[in-house]
Amino acid sequence: MHRLRTTVARLRPLTAAQAALKPRLSAEEPGFRTFRPARRPSASVAAEPFLNGTSSNYVEEMYDAWMENPRNVHKSWDIFFRNVNAGAPPGLAYQSPPALSGTTPGRADVQMAAAARPDVEKLVKDHLAVQSLIREYQVRGHHVAKLDPLGIGCVDLDDAPCAVGFQKVGSYGLSESDMDKMFRLPATTFIGGTDGALPLREIIHRLETAYCQHIGVEFMFINDVDKCQWIRQKFETPGLMRLGLEEKRTLLARMIRSTRFEEFLHRKWSSEKRFGLEGCESLVPALKTIIDVSSQSGVDNVVIGMPHRGRLNVLANVIRKELEQIFCQFESKLEATDEGSGDVKYHLGMYHRRTNRVSGRQITMSLMANPSHLEAVDPVVQGKTKAEQFYSGDTEGKRVMSILLHGDAAFAGQGVVYETFHLSDLPSYTTHGTVHVVVNNQIGFTTDPRMARSSAYPTDVARVVNAPVFHVNADDPEAVAYVCQVAAQWRNTFYKDVVVDLVCYRRNGHNEMDEPMFTQPLMYKKIKKQKGVLKKFAEKLVAEGVVTPQEYEEEVAQYDKICEEAYTRSKDEKILHIKHWLDSPWPGFFTLEGQPKCMRCPSTGIKEEALLHIGNVAASVPERDFTIHGGLSRILKGRADMVSRRVCDWALGEYMAFGSLLKEGIHVRLSGQDVERGTFSHRHHVLHDQNVDKRICVPMNRLSADQAPYTVCNSSLSEYGVLGFELGFAMANPNALVLWEAQFGDFHNTAQCIIDQFISSGQAKWVRQNGIVLLLPHGMEGLGPEHSSARPERFLQMCNDDPDVFPTLIEDFEVRQLYDCNWIVVNCSTPANYFHVLRRQILLPFRKPLVIFTPKSLLRHPEAKSGFDDMLPGSHFLRLIPDDGPAAAGPEQVKRVVFCCGKIYYELIRERKDRGMDDSVAVIRVEQVSPFPFDLVKVETDRYMNADLLWCQEEHKNQGYYNYVRPRIRTTTGRTRPVWYAGRGSAAAPATGNKQTHLMELQLFLETAFNLEGFSGRL
């Protein structure tokens, strides 16, 4: 009230000139409205009793409309504003509207009218009520929309009752008698089209059409006015949702393909699992519409991730995989030629480039291979999309986009969905909007939604990023096509995520072999009676005269023939090629046969000048007037000092590796929690000005003018999402070093699914290589059970090399062994070796995932330093570092060989020195634990023939490396020599929480390691 009084008191009516400046509707956007600055009528109106606080906005709107054209408002408002402008005294501006034949009142009439004041307050209230009603439709219309083809309404919205509809107008203080009154439409609706006012009955009718039919639009939670207006315009503008004749015919053709494809598979292989699309056949036209519209907007590369449901159909009819290739996957007698295990047909990926018929433009589509683990592929798709954008210079997502498909149960249930959504707007992770499509068949295997989620819709997770959700009844292909058009336009206008929720049903069981009546008897009774969507749609179009029955039948027959012919051709296929199902080819990286171009790895060393140059950049602030923290100045000074002494610590070794690759044109991307500084404050790849907020400098990007870009990015606090993302990023381009660092190695297990399903087994399943690097800080340092172990045992247990077979030591054994393995596991003890292994990752002629257990205390250990000499041309990664002291000089005197890896080496040599046993005990570092360096271990075991062999580790016996290395060392010696153990005993937790116990345990096992009599007499 107060606000209105004071603002109204300041108001003056617009002059004609001002009025002329008012924003007009844009010619391109008929009916599009923009918000206007508030203008108010003159001071005298402050005395009008109906101008209370709640109605002020409304009166302002009326005034605006009146200024535009007096006919826009009800006659009563026209008179009111005329009187105000004519200077009517306070309280007397209002007059009841004239009779139909009446003339415009003059000033004298005003006085008379004041005596017979009608119920003005009701008039305003009614207008406000209508506004509320309009808003209620916009907010909650989706509650009453007819979204469910089965009509069983599984969405529980009881706690948010919806007051829309003709019957509910009473709740707004309106009644039947108001139905034919004209109401001015607020700027927040487009239902009027070109009309500024409508009778209430028509208002409700249009709102029902926009919000309560087969489309339910959920968007009013978006806190951006322009975006809300955009959506209102798309769904409210009369007639906008109607499809043209040609669009309808295309839609029918797509529905025919989608439906008949499943029917064909069912006819030919009735007992094969295929996770058919029956009940959601409109998914195919949905995706095709999204792709068409996106292609028209300039998108030429679409990366798709999807689960099992309807996958073969999408491959056939959206991505256009040759049908015979799909059909021969059903032929169980065909053998696969490729190495590896292969995968079931509904997990395989695919890559295809073709012309989009609607836009006439070339478009590349890839469907990412994925494991059974639902939603795990989401971040992988996003990472690959980001990489495609990055390498093609598409900084705004105008050419490359992703589409993610989801099941309703998985979308609501899997946490990685949420993790992936949270990457969507982060600068180094955004893909500039994803179109999500949910196949919401209202069931997850045998579980009903009410048991599968606590939110009303399966899509509610998307609200965290303000993504609009377009729910649509999938039995209405036209509605589906329309929302998909809008979804694609949204993505290609705002470059933000959007969700299409296809509310459908699952005609069969979870798969074709499954009996759904066990658990959902009533639902399935209903489904059995449900007419197929194609049939319904065809009947509708025939009735409308869009197609003739004969045309329809011909289209069906034509597609059936295509399937039959492809089936015949598929019989000619003799061999299955999994590589035909590759989702990310690397043109030029392999030979035409898909083999590495050579089986050698050149020296990974670099020239002295390069070391000096990179070292100097690492020690500098290459930016003027940039104040860094005093502590960092000391660190940089320390680096400069090391460079002058020609040595590297860990951080500098890493700098040398990244810097040299960048100089050679290799993009390096390091991502993970707090990686920019480094969890242990050792890295400092991003410098922060201490005086200017957000001013940063990345010296690694100042190496040379023609260097590749360096990306270092602190990630969100997610492992599953971020590791998946980086894995996807690494898929796009073999000539990039992509690293993910865990804050502490043990946190990798929240990304276990990515590690197990993609990284360790991805190549075997999908013939797809990947060179991702995992940096996992690891080491027992008395910090407790957490933050200690990166669980080497888990990674080693998944290595594919045979412990019991000593390999044939052919030429290029080292590289061939790497080629054959599923991943490489290393724990480097020196900065130089870390430097080499990072560079080797790129210089190898193929790609393998690399798992590196990285140090914590060694980062600052005075002895864990490497000289430049170990990094010069000719030097290379040392898979095993032999003893180079007195023991090596007199091997026949050596009584014990202690094999180890990682930081325990430094404890061992200190203890050996303290005990004066440098000549009797050899300490050998196995730096590349897997694939196991059988050849080099053999050299060492042969060298020390009189010694016993022992593996020493700081991890517990059932953990760490012991169970992996022991059988391999045994195999190396022909099982003639035992391999003793020194380390912590078996335990459930990775480490003790007590520092004293930690030190005591260390002392105990060092004692075991150096007690040369400890194992005598034992077998």
Q: Is residue 439 within the footprint of ligand TPP (CB under 6 A)?
A: yes
CA dihedral (673, 674, 676, 677) in degrees, to 10, reads: -150
Q: Is residue 455 within the footprint of ligand TPP (CB under 6 A)?
A: no
374 binds, among ligand TPP, Mg ion, none (CB under 5 to 8 A by kind): ligand TPP
Pull the structure tokens for residue 755: 């590690």
Q: Is residue 372 within the footprint of ligand TPP (CB under 6 A)?
A: yes
474 binds, among Mg ion, ligand TPP, none (CB under 5 to 8 A by kind): none
372 binds, among ligand TPP, Mg ion, none (CB under 5 to 8 A by kind): ligand TPP
In 814-893, beta strands by DSSP E: 824-826, 850-854, 866-867, 880-881
Pull the structure tokens for residue 161: 């009752």
Question: How far is it, in rounded angstroms, from Cα 569 to Cα 316?
Answer: 15
Nearer to ligand TPP, 321 or 510 (CB): 510
Q: Is residue 373 within the footprint of ligand TPP (CB under 6 A)?
A: yes
Exposed/middle/buried for residue 176 (C-beta within 10 Å: 0-12, 13-18, 19+) = exposed
Q: How far is the CB of 409 from Mg ion (least distance, A)?
A: 5
Q: How far is the CB of 700 from ligand TPP (least distance, A)?
A: 38
Nearer to Mg ion, 46 or 504 (CB): 504
One-letter amino acid at 504 equals: C
Pull the structure tokens for residue 435: 């179109």
Q: How far is the CB of 445 from Mg ion (least distance, A)?
A: 8
Residue 652 near residue 831 (C-beta atoms within 8 A): yes
In 322-417, beta strands by DSSP E: 335-336, 350-355, 362-367, 400-407
Q: Is residue 441 within the footprint of Mg ion (CB under 5 A)?
A: yes
CB atoms within 10 A of CB 720: 25
Who's near 775: CB < 8 A, 6+ residues apart? 672, 739, 740, 741, 742, 852, 854
DSSP 756: I
Contacts from 803-809 at CB under 8 Å and sequence distance 24+?
803/932, 803/964, 803/967, 803/968, 803/971, 804/967, 804/971, 805/971, 806/934, 806/938, 806/971, 806/972, 806/974, 807/934, 807/935, 809/934, 809/935
Collapse the DSSP code of 704 into the 3-class scheme (helix H, G, I; strand E, B; otherwise coil) and give the result.
coil
Q: Is residue 520 within the footprint of Mg ion (CB under 5 A)?
A: no
Q: How far is the CB of 496 from ligand TPP (least distance, A)?
A: 24
Nearer to ligand TPP, 154 or 642 (CB): 154
Pick from 62, 67, 319, 409: which binds ligand TPP (CB under 6 A)? 409
241 binds, among Mg ion, ligand TPP, none (CB under 5 to 8 A by kind): none
Q: Is residue 660 within the footprint of Mg ion (CB under 5 A)?
A: no
Q: Is residue 305 within the footprint of ligand TPP (CB under 6 A)?
A: no
CB atoms within 10 A of CB 947: 23
Collapse the DSSP code of 899 into the 3-class scheme (helix H, G, I; strand E, B; otherwise coil) and give the result.
strand
Number of residues located near ligand TPP, criterion CB under 6 A: 15
Q: Is residue 508 within the footprint of Mg ion (CB under 5 A)?
A: no
Residue 959 near residue 990 (C-beta atoms within 8 A): yes
From 101-109, 238-246, 440-448, 823-831, span contacting ligand TPP (CB under 6 A): 440-448
Q: How far is the CB of 706 from ligand TPP (least distance, A)?
A: 45
Question: How far is it, in rounded angstroms, from Cα 15 to Cα 388?
Answer: 55
Q: Is residue 309 within the footprint of ligand TPP (CB under 6 A)?
A: yes
Q: How far is the CB of 458 from ligand TPP (least distance, A)?
A: 8
Nearer to ligand TPP, 8 or 443 (CB): 443
Q: Is residue 286 within the footprint of ligand TPP (CB under 6 A)?
A: no
Pull the structure tokens for residue 208: 């029902």
Q: How far is the CB of 519 from ligand TPP (least distance, A)?
A: 13
Binding mask 391-420 for Mg ion (x = CB under 5 A): ----------------xxx-----------
Sign (positive or negative) of CA dihedral 674, 680, 686, 688:
positive
Q: How far is the CB of 740 from ligand TPP (least distance, A)?
A: 21
Q: How far is the CB of 303 from ligand TPP (least distance, A)?
A: 21
Question: How far is it, in rounded angstroms, from Cα 384 to Cα 779?
Answer: 32
Question: How far is it, in rounded angstroms, from Cα 286 to Cα 503?
Answer: 12
Q: Is residue 501 within the footprint of Mg ion (CB under 5 A)?
A: no
Q: Which helix (H) or strand (E) holds 648?
A: strand 647-648
Nearer to ligand TPP, 313 or 841 (CB): 313
Pick from 407, 433, 745, 792: which binds ligand TPP (CB under 6 A)? 407
Q: How far is the CB of 347 from ligand TPP (least distance, A)?
A: 10
* Beta pairing, strands 896-900 & 921-926: parallel
Q: Is residue 355 within the footprint of ligand TPP (CB under 6 A)?
A: no
Who's near 12: CB < 8 A, 6+ residues apart? 42, 43
129 binds, among Mg ion, ligand TPP, none (CB under 5 to 8 A by kind): none
Question: How far is it, in rounded angstroms, from Cα 87 to Cα 106?
Answer: 11
Residue 465 near residue 425 (C-beta atoms within 8 A): yes
Residue 773 near residue 737 (C-beta atoms within 8 A): yes
Q: How far is the CB of 517 from Mg ion (least distance, A)?
A: 17
Residues in 560-619 at the binding interface with ligand TPP, rule: CB under 6 A: none
Q: How far is the CB of 510 from ligand TPP (least distance, A)?
A: 6
Q: Is residue 64 within the footprint of Mg ion (CB under 5 A)?
A: no
Q: Is residue 408 within the footprint of ligand TPP (CB under 6 A)?
A: yes
Nearer to ligand TPP, 506 or 791 (CB): 506
Burial readout 454-477 (b: 16 or more C-beta within 10 A, e: otherwise): eebbbbbbbbebbbbbbbbbbbbb
309 binds, among ligand TPP, Mg ion, none (CB under 5 to 8 A by kind): ligand TPP
Burial readout 695-715 (b: 16 or more C-beta within 10 A, e: otherwise): eebbbbbebeeebbebbbbbb
Nearer to ligand TPP, 410 or 949 (CB): 410
Binding mask 474-513 for ligand TPP (x = CB under 6 A): --------------------------------x---x---
Q: How far is the CB of 265 from ligand TPP (least distance, A)?
A: 16
From 180-188, 206-214, 351-359, 405-413, span contacting ligand TPP (CB under 6 A): 405-413
Question: How far is it, in rounded angstroms, from Cα 298 to Cα 244?
Answer: 23
Q: How far is the CB of 642 from ligand TPP (least distance, A)?
A: 48
Who's near 707: CB < 8 A, 6+ residues apart? 662, 663, 665, 701
From 56-64, 124-132, 435-443, 845-853, span contacting ligand TPP (CB under 6 A): 435-443
Q: Is residue 276 within the footprint of ligand TPP (CB under 6 A)?
A: no
Q: Is residue 444 within the footprint of ligand TPP (CB under 6 A)?
A: yes
One-letter amino acid at 415 equals: G
Q: Is residue 83 within the footprint of Mg ion (CB under 5 A)?
A: no
Q: Is residue 379 within the footprint of ligand TPP (CB under 6 A)?
A: no
Pick from 200, 326, 328, 374: which binds ligand TPP (CB under 6 A)? 374
Q: Is residue 306 within the footprint of ligand TPP (CB under 6 A)?
A: no
CA atoms within 13 A on the CB side of 516: 24
Q: Is residue 410 within the footprint of ligand TPP (CB under 6 A)?
A: yes
Nearer to Mg ion, 462 or 842 (CB): 462
Residue 486 near residue 456 (C-beta atoms within 8 A): no
Q: How far is the CB of 622 from ligand TPP (least distance, A)?
A: 47
Residues found near Mg ion in the complex (CB under 5 A) = 407-409, 441, 443-444
Residues found near ligand TPP in the complex (CB under 6 A) = 309, 372-374, 407-410, 439, 441, 443-445, 506, 510
